[in-house]
Structure 1
Amino acid sequence: MEEKSYKEYLEHITTFIFDVDGVLTDGTVTITTDGDMLRTMNTKDGYALKTAIKQGFNICIISGGTNEGVRVRLNHLGVADVYLGADNKIEQLNDYLTKRQIKSENTLFMGDDIPDFPVMKMVGLPCCPQDAVPEIKGISKYISHKKGGKGAVRDVIEQVLKVQGKWSGNYGAKYD
């Protein structure tokens, strides 16, 4: 049986789930003298997240990180479902899919490292940034040409929305 092209999955995606560190950020953590851990997120990724939400897509974040600043940023963009401190991402995935009555085959998950491996095996379209670890690249049906924190999230959201005819028509939208 011939393997499907990743583009064949795009038209059925209703839900985007993302890891944070290495996906929405470049994986770098700056530690202040007070011990705060600072991350940087890309505004183009933020614009894509807001656009997907406005177009009726489900967005969820499942991260092992615990920085509440991440939740504040994502909530500001309109992402309501943010799971931080996820030691077992499968539990959070199952909770989210059940709560929202979403089928796993309609779900895209973008991860970049070993903790994402089990949950990526459970979704319809596992994806990763260009700089993901080899094990994650090996199970991904799509590898973005962009690195984590450098537009990989925008890349995959934009592709799905374009395939479904939901990308155009929102010029001039605020994307902070």
Structure 2
Amino acid sequence: MFLQKLKDITTFIFDVDGVLTDGSVQVTDNGQSLRTFNIKDGYAMQLAVKKGYKLCIISGGDGIAMGRRFSNLGISDVFLGTGDKVAVFNQYLADKNISAAEVLYMGDDIPDLKVMRLVGLATCPSDAVEEIKAVSAFISPYPGGKTAVRDIIEKVMKVQGRWHDEDPNAADSGV
């Protein structure tokens, strides 16, 4: 059943804090929030974009650097500072003409719960809260910010026979 669901995925949606990062936020004296992203997650994300998958970021967090990181990976559907993730999710599906059954969502905490109940495949990092683990069809063995995103993208693309990149570029990780 799980492998069949992987075959149907056309769209990845990710939360940021706790999924693409380890959930830590450093705050500078001038109030800027700093996050650390994993380069291996970035490589998988840009490869998925190259292969024609839709990638979307929906996060309550915000920041110029976050937007720049996703832009460098070729991700244009980025919704930061989002209070109502369900409303953004529903509008995204309508705008892109996507069925919820085609969507894989990875979240880690309570603000992701309602969206995760709507998607075709709910997933989470190993360090997600218990409520999120309970609704997830797949729990990565990796924690947030430590290649959980790479893990699930790679699984989907391998099942679909689309993982290999014939012409990799060392700059593809979006730094």
Partner residue of 2:112?
116
| Cα distance between partner residues in 1 of 2:142 and 2:87 | 29
Q: Which residue of 1 aligns with 2:23?
A: 27
Q: 2:91, 2:149 → 1: CA distance?
A: 23
Counterpart among 83, 92, 105 of residue 87 in structure 1: 83
Is 1:140 aligned to 2:171, yes or no? no
> Is there any run of 5+ residues in structure 1 with no aligned partner, and where?
none
Shift of 1:171: 5.2
The one-letter amino acid of 1:22's match is G
Deviation at 1:133, TM superposition (A): 0.2
Matching of residue 9 in structure 1 with residue 5 in structure 2: yes
Residue 56 of structure 1 deviates from its aligned partner by 0.4
DSSP-derived class of the 2:155 partner:
helix
Matching residue's letter, 1:35: G
Match of 1:76 among 69, 72, 77: 72
What letter corresponds to residue 165 of structure 2 in structure 1? G
Find the counterpart in structure 2 of residue 103 from structure 1: 99
Gaps of 5+ in 2: none
Deviations 1:129-149 (A, max 9, x none): 000000000000000011100
Give the percent of matched residue pairs that are identical in Structure 1 and Structure 2.
Answer: 51
Runs of 4+ in 1 over 3 A off after TM superposition: none
Q: TM-score, normalising length from structure 1?
A: 0.95
- Structure 2 CA distance, aligned partners of 1:171 and 1:113? 37
- 1:66 aligned to 2:62? yes
SS of 2:4's equivalent in the other structure is helix
Q: TM-score, normalised by structure 2?
A: 0.96
